[in-house]
Chain A
Amino acid sequence: MRPHRASRWLYPRPEGLYCEPGGFFIDPVRPVDKSVITHGHADHARRGHGAVLATPETIAIMKIRYGEACAGAFQEAAYGEATAVGGVRIGLAPAGHILGSAQVVLDYDGSRVVISGDYKRSADPTCSPFEVVPCDVFVSEATFALPVFRHEPAGREASRLVESIRQQPARTHLLGVYGLGKCQRMIALIRAAGYDAPIHLHGALVALTEFYASQGFEFGALQPIATDARTNRRDFAGSLVMCPPAAIADRWSRRFEDPVTAFASGWMRVRGRALQRGVELPLIVSDHADWPELIATIEQTGAEEVWVTHGREDALVHQLSLMGIPARALTLVGFDDEGD
């Protein structure tokens, strides 16, 4: 199979996916002169680049996580705004993954390539929905690229959590979530499910949640738990505490009375993964596209060729070959294919 001609100007290098005429990398894994960043997750947005082009939200998130001076220069580009660098037209389109997440749309030499970054198609009250951008080559993530992955409707999963809190008022519900995106989406879903008591937040979740709130999202009453606070175990009985996943099995969690451990992630679809983490209440909620979403999206872009990255490339490449769509795995290192 002859690769698409776009691969002459856009190809992987050790630092990441490189656009030669523009001289920039997309989500590079080590410091480079010029970068385009799809979204604020740590495996995509790293510190130390000379210049960063991203959505205003992504730039704000990077500054919160890494400090104001985490890149030499920042250039904001809102969804739909175009910039040109070295003859390459760069546009950003909503990816529906987290607040500020973008697909990178590159036009050059008569071809259009869309790099999806991380994306999902199901509704999320905390970010703009994914926008289908017709293109010649679609570079798709593949975190959940196996036919066994079909996420549940997120609202229903949040209701299950709220129901469990009501049924077990003597216990603390400890919900593990990633700090950026999943945390805020879950808060919004839990509120929509009718839970209006204060939600307690582990210190590591506070700054980014405050940022979301400053962007106009309503989260109701949130109470940060100071990391060093000496609290009475019973203070949290019957309440909901959210924390980073690692804190669930950490010394930090000992302050809670007989906690119900819950974890919101697409991996919870597979029993072994829930058991491995010792999760009592697995919630199948993901910010990544599931199998049907991946396939539908690829079809909708009308791409002649698909490059698959970051996840279970083999299954998606195989599926696309069955559908008659040329596809190949793009070997990019440094991405977290355990994203949830």
Chain B
Amino acid sequence: MKTLKLLTGRALFALAVLALLLYTIFPFYIAVATSFGAGTGEHVYTPAYFDLRNYLSVFKEQPFFHNILNSALVSFATVAISLLIAVTASYALARVHFRGRTLLLLTVLGVSMFPQVAVLSGMFELIRMLGLYNSLGSLILSYTVFSLPFSVWILTTFMRGIPKDLEEAAIVDGATPWQIITRIFMPVLWPALVTTGLLAFIGAWNEFMFAITFILSNENRTVPVAISMISGDSQYELPWGPVMAASVVVTVPLIALVLIFQRKIVEGLTAGAVKG
């Protein structure tokens, strides 16, 4: 009786896991299957054979390699700039006492709630004024603006969790504020930095609306827009094969990044800093 109960329990659990897997992986499976299919027009459920035609066409018919480089440049620049600003800003917000600190922090949080469309026209004006229209700088600027509030908020919270003694020990050792940030806080906050950096990266890598609005010429486009521009043989046909091939190509770096850093994210580095 007992074993039967155990067995049914196991079976139900396996079923639930299977359903969940199916539900989450199905779209990706279709994407991969379609990309390897020979056709261009329709979805493929089981590709008969591996066909790299779609992959070749993606790179042949548009400057897709160039687009990937653009995306990488924009994303890395966004991450670098927003982390630099976020770390220094959150140090001030978490550690330096000044008037209106809470108000400032709440404003930061409030700003992050605006949807993109709300600031699209304002951002467009700003970018025209700065002469960044149709250049990658426009994207770096706007993505940084959008990822900053979130990064600042997260890092401020983490930075508040660092014991004050740690900072004071560094001060007594003769560290300047910049050295405290770079030599003590950043290594201790490494998991938080990786997490916020990764989120900023994904946001920038996948962004579409700003990318299509601020960039005009084909060779300055980033990947999401480039994919949307892939056209079929006729106006009425959606070229699913190449689109999916392109999507697979640009998703792989993301997955790789997450896999590389996931251990870092999990690692609790602060353990043992203070009495454990």
Tell whether A pairs with B: no
Interface residues of B, Cβ cutoff 8 Å to A: none
Interface residues of A (CB under 8 A from B): none
